[in-house]
Structure 1
Amino acid sequence: MELIERGHALQLLQQALETAAQGSGRTALVCGEAGIGKTSLVTQLLSQHREGRVLWGGCEALFSPRPLGPLYDMAGALGAKLQSMLGLEGRRVELFASFLEELQHSRGTTVVVLEDLHWADAATLDLVKFLARRIQRVRALLVLSYRDDELGERHPLQLVLGDLPADAVVRVPLLPLSEAGVDELARQSSRPADGIYAATGGNPFFVTEALRAEGLPATVRDAVLARAARQPPAVRALLDLAAIVPARIEVDIVDEVLTPTPADVSTALASGLLTADGRSYAFRHELARIAIEQALSAPVAAALHAKVLACLARRGEHGVPMSRLVHHASGAGDSAAVLKYALHAGDEAASHGAHCEAASLYRTALAHAGGLPPAERANLLERHSYQCYVIDQNDCAMEERLAALAIWRKLGDVRQEGLTLRWLSRLSWFGGRKREAEEYANQAVQLLQDQPEDEAYAWALSNRSQLYMLSGHTTEAVAWGERAIALANRIGSDEVLTHALNNVGTARYMIGLPDGKPMIERSLQIALAHDFEEHVARCYANLVSTAVKTRDYVDAEKQIAEAMRYFCARDLDSWSNYILVWQARLDFERSDWDAAADIAGRLVTAHDVAVVTRICALVVLARVRLRRGDPGARELLEEAVALAQQSGELQRLAPVAAAHAEEAWLRNDGAPVDAIVLHAYALAEERQDRRALGELRYWCLRLGLMQAGPEGTEEPYALQIDGHWREAADTWQRLGCLYERALCLLEGDESAMREAVAVLESLGASAAVKRCREHLRDAGVRGVARGPRATTSANPAGLTARELQILSLLAENLTNAEIARRLVRSEKTVDHHISAILRKLDVRSRGEAAAMAGRLAFTTPAVERPAARRQRLDS
């Protein structure tokens, strides 16, 4: 049948394909509920694509999807180099780059179709991110189909879609058919349409199934089962066998299990339920397969899974994806087989950096591990715990380690107990529970110190060093770390060595000692050489966080880029989220508040983000909202205070305290300052943390909480506190910290104070602008406006005159660069204004803002010439 009511959707895809053919690739998101016609729409598009090639792969509803399953589907159409790389350990970044290179060198336009991404494994989602961010460089259309009604806020695909470049994405949502569309389908089928629309809701698959049925079924499931029930027993057996295998079942497996006659196969295909491509059979639609699978009795389903498992096992493990063996072993209820294959598959997934899949597979194994000996069960719990740890599921990781601890204690295995206590210390720290982390760390040292000096004791020493480093106790961190390094060298443990070098190096780097950073870099080299993923991630985390804290922003950006390239090929969510939040803090400090708020907002709303990451995200988002005068800052700060106090670490407490102090200054209402400010200040003095001491001392002096000199304070704040506001402002300018520069200028002469207000206005810092105007009036500066200008209050969205000008230029479809040239402003300034416009209008795109400009009765002022503006300001 021809497609009904899909003309606009098809046109969107055709336009995207035409754009891709011109050398500017596009990503098309085809979404809708199951049965809505996503595959039919893409097939229709490809039927018209004759001057290029098609690469088509899909994701499957296995218990744990095979990593990069869609790439294996299209392997036969890929070049020899790519085929040789599939399945190779630790080569995912190279594999992705080779795939992109193949697209770049294709003669015609390539259409890459990835179906059913709601079932995608983490590796496939990484491939999507990699391609979508680079698709504009190639003549290719990347078509992604998924069921949007199955994506909750916490679904991994949701995060991927939010990160795609908006200017290269075409969204093609598919809606149910109208009643008229259903009537047209019925007419084409020569069937009556009575009641079909009401029964199906316009879902195309449901409609076609209902039209095929003899009489109107109560549900589509009934329609599918009714059609299956009319088949001869041999055909129904074939349908049942095919139903337990997601996606497709090989012809030779069907022949081995059932030996169907050619007539049976022909009848099955004629039923309209099954299709064949010469190598395999597949249901015409996944909903039909699910309907038949769910109708199978448990004994019948288990028997069929057992037969398929036996067939696959006879082929040998190397010829069959482990995830598929696990699927059928679990369906057969064969616990021994599940344990065998799930453990093997979990180890394989972990070795390839597919930690989400590994965690899922170990979880499946644990469900069948009741009969394992205690020590083996404890080992499995620890393997699962580690995978949960690296994918940011800290609560689950903690629960599994505690279960393992109970087993080791019952067995009297002191060494394993000590190792588990060290891990519980680490997980407690990640959960923001410093006191528990310290207790577990001390227990591990006390338990193992009288045992032979082996790797377990070395880990206990290095963990103790790590906790001291994280809390700012440099002397203790170095002392314990050097003990761990010495022991690691004696026993030949490279893993403990890289861990301890990182701890000592970071402790020394944070206080400015020149040998600190090289120690971390040596740790990184060892970790990379031995593929110690967690330790590589820790090195990047400490290099990035320390660079940001010391305001070496250039190096921080370099380290972040290297870290993200490393994370691209691995499911290290705990660490990639941690690096991301430091990117948000870097953007915040360098005045790119939109980017900072975007990253921090996603992390605040994400599920299972580690507490140490969440604290930083809460603070960044709260401070952006405070400065802009946006709602919700207070609630974010309250949560941040509770979590930071629980962590007990200065690096968590200081930013929260600074945010509270800044809020008190912005409020200017005489209310008491939160006690966390003075507590964090005292802690910063005790630890002599120049960065924390500088910011907190500055705010405490502004709030009149103390009188103190600049000793021990980082340079820009020291200059500012000492009265050298111009030098301080110049330093902040070089660093790119425009907000801090404006606050310095506020301490200068009248010209500087006016410049401060202008800088804050350009940043969209409405709350700070209001506070500065109060400061100017208090200082006797005349002609200071008390609130929004008349042009701002005259429009319902509260846009400034400049924002109104830019909105009018947006309506003319001008780019940011064109607007900047028209207004004689930098592109970055225009970016800030556009972000403010989108926020005030509560829209998500430039196009929506331009459309709203046409609906609202704004009086947009003429674009002012620079000379006229200077004359007005001078007067």
Structure 2
Amino acid sequence: MAVLLERSEHLRVLHAAADSVRTGPGGALVLLGGEAGGGKTALLRRFRAECDSRLLWGACDPLFTPRPLGPFQEIVTESRPHEVAAALTADARARPGLILVLEDLHWADEATLDVLSLLGRRIEGIPALVVATYRSDELERGHPLRRILGELHSGSVRRLTVEPLSRDAVCVLAEPHGRDGAELHRVTRGNPFFVTEVLAGAGDEVPLTVRDAVLSRIARLGPEAMAVLEAVSVAPPYAVPPSAGGLDEALHAGMLESVPGGVAFRHELARITVEESLTPHRRLHLHRWVLRTLLEQPGDADPSRVAHHADAAGAAATVRIWAPIAAEQAAARGAHREAAAQYARALRNAGPLPAAERATLLERRSYECYLTEQTTESVAALREAIRLRREIGDRPGEGAALTALARRLWCGGLSDEATRAGRAGLRLLEGLPPGPELAEAYSSESSTWLNLESYPGTMEYGERALRLAEEHGVPDVVVHSLNNIGTMQLLAGEPEGIGKLERSLALADRAGLEEHIGRAYIHVGWAMTRTRAYHLLSWLERGMDACEDLGLEAWSSYLVAYRARHRLDTGRWDDAARDARSLLRSTGPAPLLRILALTVAGLVAARRGAEDPWPDLDEARELAKGQSELQYCAPVAAARAEAAWLAGRPVEEELGETFELAVHWQAAGVTGELAWLRVLTGTETAVPALEPYRTQLGGDVEAAAQQWRARGCPYDAALALAGAPHEAGLRAALAEFQRLGAGPAAAIVTRRLRSLGLRDIPRGPQRRTRNNPAELTRREIEVLALIRQGMSNVEIAERLFLSTKTVHHHVSAILRKLGVARRGQAAAEAVRLGVL
């Protein structure tokens, strides 16, 4: 057995996890990271050789557009992520002790990552060990795997990293070959694959690159073996016929190994080296050869592979046929990002396609991009489709595309453009005989009024859409309009709205309308958090599972945002901040989604008084600027007004136009909250409001506080009592604020009690401690620790997932509090004071 140095602790962890799975009720997930060539596969092969458990092994392919559920194609027959996860779970429970290895998840498709997420979140109840490997050096900030890694935090999840070999270990390996181990370590930096390839090469000199080492080794093979390597390099893994000359030589040389269904390179870096060494003509010839082989058995051909090789072979006609098939297959398996990429491939190779067919491809790509938060791409594709529909005089198609564009634009934060697009489509379709397209346009117009939170407009167009959709048998419009009506009723405080949403969800589920399934859950989340109707919390929990199962990334993110708000309202501030920060770490979320996260993060900071909330709240204000919809404006106005009240700043200027907008639309779910913030600063206004705000604004703050407690909202209960005119209510508010750690609000109530002539007021926990005499916030201490490590503001921003401007703000505050002028002095002073 090959020597495996400096991996004993990794093997111990893997064996311990396998033993716990065999003997315990739950399972374990091991996330194994490391650089390319770091020895992850070698470690797992040794683990497989040493353990006697049943082991399943799957790997992702390095295709331009990954195969949906690629690692599972040889393991299970199910076609959707939740079905795959359910099948593996059932298998593990039937025969406990299963070990599942998933390799190279940096190449994983969206559906495969959904399976990993499902297994990871439920691993404590699954008697299986899942080992997932990935290249940590290939996970750029926006990589989809990063989100999964950030979500998995349970005690059953272990993280391992294979580090480069030490100088001593390289010297041990080099000694039998008579090589200079120190020099070898310097050149390879301890990368196990590089070390192995150099030692396997001929000659005494150490090559400057691993490419040289691999090519030097290949040069010793015969032309037939080289031909096999070249063929396998463009089609990993590829089934080479047993009679192929040179196959045995390539296997014996250690370049290839047998895998289920064929052969593959022992290491991906070697495959890349061989593929990159091919001349363009030779590469084209090989892709064409692979493509012919795949098409000889079209019934067994994988559409993703055919499209990949056809694209590389320049076979545009074949791409036009197979890429849409691959896209449909990917979408059916929940791999919507891969589906969008396949439609893009089809469009690149479309050539002089008839306008109607091209428009259809563009519309399908737009939809798949829409499902995966690629809003810019979605809008661009749909605009081009609209142009083509208009050119050929397809007025129903143009109207339908304009209606769809309205939704895409709204998701991108372009509300006014969305309204114009939707109404242009509606005008066009109202001039045609009534049909399914008009029903959809009516439902879109209802949605526009819903986003404005106008009850009359939402209900009028929603009911028109519902009647027309039922008449013409258009289930997706029935589902959409029921959702609009039910959501508006919930926002207006009418509990019967949940019945409409239940019917909408049931119909969507029955018809497989994934987008509308997600929409039902996020709209309940919106209405639930707006009206604090937390008896509906089970919808949020069910929705997160459903959207994960269906691969609906954007919808899942909105549900996390609403969960963050629920956690904020119910006093779980650490959890709320964690949810908000996880959303803010994501790249390019929709503006509304970012606003929801920023306002939660800002309120946690403002209520605790431990951090400066204004960087988050200023960014939220910028994102909401120019928006006329309360979904955007109301969270920002409420959060900024509360933070201003807590800081002793004017509240009215933060409410401004948003309060007027809420009153104009009679949005009782918004007006009550904003009006109470005015009351706390001495300005009273009679407005329509939902409970408990209605009772609160009527002066019975004790009854309102009871209602808030019944909803599980302790801070809101204390905020109601903060407006009490007498000692008992104020003392109750103070006690609750102190229990929650809401220092600024507690200080305000304390001042009110003192203004009544009271002196025996509990002080509560103090912020200033001997361990932090400079009164640095927790975030400032984090920044200071990184300053001490010599990091720049840009590096600190990257590490803490903050903007550079925010880091600059923190650094300035640190220097001021410590009374120093330079960063180096700040670190030294912090050490002297015992802060670090």
Give TM-score scaled by structure 2 length: 0.88
Listed as ranges, the matches of 1:109-148 within 5 Å are: 109-148=97-136
Of 562, 569, 592, the match for 1:589: 569
- Does the 8 A contact of 1:16 with 1:170 survive in 2? no
- Letter paired with 1:721: L
Alignment pair present for 1:49 and 2:51: yes
- Does the 8 A contact of 1:660 with 1:674 survive in 2? no
- Letter paired with 1:260: A
- Sort the Cα spacing of 1:530 and 1:788 in 2 relative to 1 into closer, same or farther, 3 A: closer
- Does the 8 A contact of 2:705 with 2:718 survive in 1? yes
Q: Which residue of 1 aligns with 2:450?
A: 469
- Does the 8 A contact of 2:29 with 2:157 survive in 1? yes
SS of corresponding position for 1:688: coil
Q: Which residue of 1 aligns with 2:798?
A: none
Counterpart Cα distance in 2 of 1:151 and 1:698:
47
- Does the 8 A contact of 1:429 with 1:647 survive in 2? no
- Sort the Cα spacing of 1:701 and 1:746 in 2 relative to 1 into closer, same or farther, 3 A: closer
- Sort the Cα spacing of 1:476 and 1:587 in 2 relative to 1 into closer, same or farther, 3 A: same
Counterpart Cα distance in 1 of 2:27 and 2:495:
47
Deviation at 1:524, TM superposition (A): 2.1
Q: Which residue of 2 aligns with 1:641?
A: 621
Report Cα offsets for 1:351-384 as digits up to 9, x if no partner. 2322122112112222222332222222111111
Counterpart Cα distance in 2 of 1:651 and 1:159:
26
Deviation at 1:433, TM superposition (A): 1.9
Q: Which residue of 1 aligns with 2:785?
A: none
SS of corresponding position for 2:550: coil
- Letter paired with 1:291: T
- Sort the Cα spacing of 1:791 and 1:602 in 2 relative to 1 into closer, same or farther, 3 A: closer
SS of corresponding position for 1:289: helix
Q: Which residue of 1 aligns with 2:719?
A: 743
Counterpart Cα distance in 2 of 1:720 and 1:504:
28
SS of corresponding position for 2:684: coil
After superposing the two structures, state which structure 1 stretch, 629-638 or 200-209, moved more: 629-638
Of 181, 185, 202, the match for 2:169: 181
Q: Which residue of 2 aligns with 1:218?
A: 208
Report Cα offsets for 1:608-647 as digits up to 9, x if no partner. 3222222212211111111122435212222222332433
Q: Which residue of 2 aligns with 1:605?
A: 585
Listed as ranges, the matches of 1:461-500 within 5 Å are: 461-500=442-481
- Does the 8 A contact of 1:753 with 1:776 survive in 2? yes
- Letter paired with 1:219: T
SS of corresponding position for 1:134: helix
Alignment pair present for 1:454 and 2:444: no
Listed as ranges, the matches of 1:148-297 within 5 Å are: 148-193=136-181, 195-213=183-201, 214=203, 215-246=205-236, 248-252=237-241, 260-261=244-245, 264-277=246-259, 279-297=261-279
- Sort the Cα spacing of 1:188 and 1:553 in 2 relative to 1 into closer, same or farther, 3 A: farther
Alignment pair present for 1:299 and 2:301: no
Q: Which residue of 2 aligns with 1:776?
A: 753
SS of corresponding position for 1:161: helix
- Letter paired with 1:659: A
Deviation at 1:791, TM superposition (A): 7.7
Counterpart Cα distance in 1 of 2:272 and 2:639:
53
Q: Which residue of 1 aligns with 2:780?
A: none
CA RMSD, 1 decimal: 2.5
Counterpart Cα distance in 1 of 2:587 and 2:665:
34
- Sort the Cα spacing of 1:575 and 1:794 in 2 relative to 1 into closer, same or farther, 3 A: closer
After superposing the two structures, state which structure 1 stretch, 374-383 or 635-644, moved more: 635-644
Deviation at 1:280, TM superposition (A): 1.5
- Letter paired with 2:78: L
Deviation at 1:401, TM superposition (A): 1.0
- Letter paired with 1:656: V
Counterpart Cα distance in 1 of 2:425 and 2:409:
14
- Does the 8 A contact of 2:449 with 2:457 survive in 1? yes
SS of corresponding position for 1:29: strand
Counterpart Cα distance in 1 of 2:104 and 2:167:
27
Deviation at 1:36, TM superposition (A): 0.6
Q: Which residue of 1 aligns with 2:42?
A: 40
Deviation at 1:195, TM superposition (A): 2.0
Listed as ranges, the matches of 1:540-579 within 5 Å are: 540-555=521-536, 557-579=537-559
- Does the 8 A contact of 1:67 with 1:121 survive in 2? yes
Alignment pair present for 1:760 and 2:752: no
- Sort the Cα spacing of 1:267 and 1:9 in 2 relative to 1 into closer, same or farther, 3 A: same
- Does the 8 A contact of 2:15 with 2:51 survive in 1? no
Deviation at 1:117, TM superposition (A): 0.9
- Does the 8 A contact of 2:111 with 2:333 survive in 1? no
Q: Which residue of 1 aligns with 2:14?
A: 13
- Does the 8 A contact of 1:745 with 1:756 survive in 2? yes
Q: Which residue of 2 aligns with 1:659?
A: 639
Deviation at 1:674, TM superposition (A): 6.0
Counterpart Cα distance in 2 of 1:783 and 1:517:
48
- Sort the Cα spacing of 1:273 and 1:234 in 2 relative to 1 into closer, same or farther, 3 A: same
Deviation at 1:784, TM superposition (A): 4.7
- Sort the Cα spacing of 1:789 and 1:42 in 2 relative to 1 into closer, same or farther, 3 A: same
Deviation at 1:785, TM superposition (A): 7.4
Counterpart Cα distance in 2 of 1:757 and 1:167:
37
After superposing the two structures, state which structure 1 stretch, 349-358 or 755-764, moved more: 755-764
Deviation at 1:857, TM superposition (A): 11
Q: Which residue of 2 aligns with 1:825?
A: none
- Sort the Cα spacing of 1:690 and 1:172 in 2 relative to 1 into closer, same or farther, 3 A: same
- Letter paired with 1:766: G
- Does the 8 A contact of 1:471 with 1:650 survive in 2? yes
Listed as ranges, the matches of 1:822-841 within 5 Å are: none
Q: Which residue of 2 aligns with 1:375?
A: 356
- Letter paired with 2:276: Q
Deviation at 1:306, TM superposition (A): 0.8
SS of corresponding position for 1:646: coil
- Sort the Cα spacing of 1:542 and 1:794 in 2 relative to 1 into closer, same or farther, 3 A: closer
- Sort the Cα spacing of 1:490 and 1:278 in 2 relative to 1 into closer, same or farther, 3 A: closer
Gap regions ≥5 residues in structure 2: 778-813, 815-830
Gap regions ≥5 residues in structure 1: 76-82, 801-839, 841-854, 860-875
Of 690, 693, 697, the match for 1:721: 697
SS of corresponding position for 2:296: helix
After superposing the two structures, state which structure 1 stretch, 652-661 or 403-412, moved more: 403-412
Q: Which residue of 2 aligns with 1:686?
A: 664
SS of corresponding position for 2:66: coil
Q: Which residue of 1 aligns with 2:608?
A: 628
Q: Which residue of 2 aligns with 1:537?
A: 518
Q: Which residue of 2 aligns with 1:93?
A: 82
- Does the 8 A contact of 1:408 with 1:417 survive in 2? yes
After superposing the two structures, state which structure 1 stretch, 723-732 or 597-606, moved more: 723-732
SS of corresponding position for 1:166: coil
- Sort the Cα spacing of 1:767 and 1:790 in 2 relative to 1 into closer, same or farther, 3 A: closer
Deviation at 1:750, TM superposition (A): 4.2
Deviation at 1:221, TM superposition (A): 0.6
Of 679, 701, 708, the match for 1:701: 679
Q: Which residue of 1 aligns with 2:405?
A: 424
SS of corresponding position for 1:146: strand
Deviation at 1:188, TM superposition (A): 4.0
SS of corresponding position for 1:715: coil
- Does the 8 A contact of 1:792 with 1:799 survive in 2? no
Counterpart Cα distance in 2 of 1:419 and 1:628:
49
- Does the 8 A contact of 1:251 with 1:279 survive in 2? no
- Does the 8 A contact of 2:403 with 2:444 survive in 1? yes
- Letter paired with 1:93: H
Deviation at 1:547, TM superposition (A): 2.6
SS of corresponding position for 1:167: coil
SS of corresponding position for 2:119: helix
SS of corresponding position for 2:523: helix
Counterpart Cα distance in 1 of 2:166 and 2:441:
66
- Letter paired with 1:759: E
- Letter paired with 1:666: L
Deviation at 1:63, TM superposition (A): 1.9
Deviation at 1:157, TM superposition (A): 0.8
Alignment pair present for 1:315 and 2:297: yes
Counterpart Cα distance in 2 of 1:424 and 1:400:
10
- Sort the Cα spacing of 1:392 and 1:221 in 2 relative to 1 into closer, same or farther, 3 A: same
Counterpart Cα distance in 2 of 1:784 and 1:515:
46
- Letter paired with 2:445: R
After superposing the two structures, state which structure 1 stretch, 504-513 or 120-129, moved more: 504-513
Alignment pair present for 1:677 and 2:655: yes
